[in-house]
Amino acid sequence: MRLYSTLTRQVEELPVTDGTVRMYVCGPTVYDRIHIGNARPFIVFDALRRYLEFRGYKVIYVQNVTDIDDKIIRRAHQEGVDARTIAERYAAAYFEDLEALGVRRPTHSPRATEYVPQMIELVQELIRKGHAYVLDGDVYFSVGSFPDYGKLSRRSREEQEAGARVEVDERKRDPLDFALWKKSKPGEPHWPSPWGEGRPGWHTECVVMSRHLLGETLDIHAGGSDLVFPHHENELAQAESLTGKPFVRIWLHVGLLTVRGERMGKSVGNFEYARDVVDRYGSEPVRYFYLSRDWHKPLDFSHEGLVEAQRAVERVYDFLWANEGGSAQAGSGDLGALEKRFLDALEEDFNTPAAIGVLQEIVAWGNVARQRGDPVGAQAAAALVRKLGQALGLFQEPKPTVRGLEEELIGVLVELRAELRKRGAYDLADRVRSRLGELGIELRDGPQGTNWTVRPRT
């Protein structure tokens, strides 16, 4: 498999020697629920993990939880509670949201506060090697001690200074030097250290947790494109200063979600919580919306795009539920060629839009087979969509069923609606249809009367 690496700006071969992919994805800072923009990298990298497993690899998937941070502390002060209360509340909410989004749990979900002793050890080692220095209880990484600083983001010195998320401190040797350990302030969480009471810096947390769980060199390190600088740049500088070895083989970064061209963010106020979007459209249309676009590029959020994705997903399920019961092995050479194109698309830089396009071609092929009196071909196409959909986490829902009494009650309501329409009581008839729709019962009027379909309530 080949993937575009931010470090080399080239499509690189994924180097897997023992059948195991060691993958670290930056997780949330748990001070609030995630918004739908935060969800994009989680969904994309969940799909990549599923595909790698589909191809037979073992994937050790680590995603941290940042449970100590300035944002958490501010939220705690606002609510008059301690930082741990905020972190526990929103860590639980995060995992609830992952489940609602159809994202599988990571292999490991380390919390920063569980690794403070190891973080202190790492900072001590950087000081011993001459890559860090102490300033009155704070410890800073010396950017000048690492000649390759900037090789991931490829920013000029001026761009680095403009984009660095560092606190202004005139005592620092270089404005770009970043905190490895922060001296505690009154009312903040703190831990004992050789430099006094304090807490670890954000960039140090991910280095320690990834090294502990995956080793000194990771196969994949991933996150949103907003993390390239300074977070991932600063991780790389620490890790490679310690070992002299490559920290990561392939760096992956998903494009940001925007709203009318502006980055979606809580500080801007142009966001929607992920759970609200899922409640409105369902988890699978959200996944389809993201995976049908190029994962590298920024993506403008729109409800129109989600409605389109919802309809596309429904059309595929209409085909699947009408043609269940076959085998993907019973298909023609056409289906074999389509399967190869699907896999080729994902092997070449995880081209999910092309892969989803192939799934739609398989559906179209199956519909044509059905129309020409070839039910076996249609069933084979449906089985192939099921099989390949596993690779992306799509199209795995079984056909919804109803029990005998429920079916009879739906029939009574359909008859009642038909009678209301005959009498011109269209408002009441529309209310019956709308309410049934909310319950997952879709009515379709045609020349032969009204048919109904049960849809899963995701």
Q: Count Cβ atoms below 10 Å from residue 295 Cβ, excluding itself.
A: 24
Residue by residue, DSSP assigns 306-329 as: HHHHHHHHHHHHHHHHHS-S--GG
106-143 pLDDT, tens digit per residue, is 999 999 999 999 999 999 999 999 999 999 999 999 99
Q: What is the mean pLDDT of residues 289-294?
A: 98
Q: What is the mean pLDDT of residues 268-284?
A: 94
Q: State the pLDDT at residue 183.
A: 95
Q: State the pLDDT at residue 458.
A: 47
Q: What is the mean pLDDT of residues 309-329?
A: 90
The answer to whether residue 165 scores a pLDDT higher than 60 is: no
Query: What percent of the chain clears pLDDT 90, i.e. is strictly above it?
Result: 78
Between CA 432 and CA 437, with CA 436 as vertex, the angle to 5 degrees is: 115
More confident residue, 413 or 21: 21
Structure tokens, 104: 């599988």
pTM: 0.88
Alpha helices in 148-273 (DSSP H): 157-163, 202-214, 233-243
Least confident piece of the model among 209-218, 234-243, 395-404: 395-404
Radius of gyration of the chain (CA): 26
The answer to whether residue 255 scores a pLDDT higher than 60 is: yes
The answer to whether residue 328 scores a pLDDT higher than 80 is: no
Residue 405: band (very low, low, confident or very high) from pLDDT cuts 50, 70, 90? low
Q: What is the mean pLDDT of residues 343-350?
A: 98
> Domains of the chain by range and CATH?
16-263 (3.40.50.620), 319-399 (1.20.120.640), 404-454 (no CATH)
Residues sharing a CB contact under 8 Å with residue 415, sequence separation 6 or more, in sequence order: none
Q: Which of 70, 63, 18 is nearest to 222 (CA)?
A: 63
The answer to whether residue 256 scores a pLDDT higher than 90 is: yes
